[in-house]
Structure 1
Amino acid sequence: MPKLKTSKSIKKRFKISSTGKILRHQACRSHLLQKKSQIRKKKLTKTYQINKSDLYRLKVKLYI
């Protein structure tokens, strides 16, 4: 039986921490930044933990 391939697009978008948590970046940080305030842009740089409802689906795609 061949190896299962991970979804490369998901692998690029999410990071797995050393404790096994899946982290994501905030959206709205790539363009149209001129009208956003400095505080708002700074808050968008943080990484956040994945919601529990999405956790199972991502683990299946990443084969964790």
Structure 2
Amino acid sequence: MPKMKSHRGACKRFKTTSSGKIKRERMNGSHNLEKKNSKRCRRLHQTALLEGLKAKQIKRMIQA
């Protein structure tokens, strides 16, 4: 049986922390920033963690 391949799109979008949690970037933080206030821009540039069932699915896609 051949090896399982990891999902390349998921590998580019998600990273794992040293404790095994899944990090992701927030959307809407790359362009049209002049319309958004400074507080919102700062928040959009922070990374977020995935939780629950979605994190389990992404972990399976990355570590195949």
Q: Tell me if both proteins adopt one fold, taking TM over 0.5 as the criterion.
A: yes
Q: Which sections of structure 2, spanning at least 5 residues, go unmatched?
A: none
- Identity, % of aligned positions: 34
String of CA shifts for 1:15-63, please: whole Å, max 9, x gaps: 1011111011111012111100111101111111102130221122113
Work out which structure has the larger RCO, using CA pairs closer than 8 Å and 6 or more positions apart in sequence.
Answer: 2
2:29 alignment partner in structure 1 = 29
Tell me, in whole angstroms, the C-alpha distance in 1 between the residues paired with 2:29 and 2:12. 16
State the alpha-carbon separation in 1 of the partners of residues 26 and 10 from structure 2: 15
TM-score between both structures, scaled by the size of structure 1 = 0.87
1:53-64 residue pairs with structure 2 within 5 A?
Answer: 53-63=53-63
Richer in helix (by share): 2
Q: How many residues are treated as equivalent by the alignment? A: 64
Distance 2:49 2:22 in 1: 6
Query: Which 4+ residue blocks in structure 1 deviate beyond 6 angstroms?
Result: none
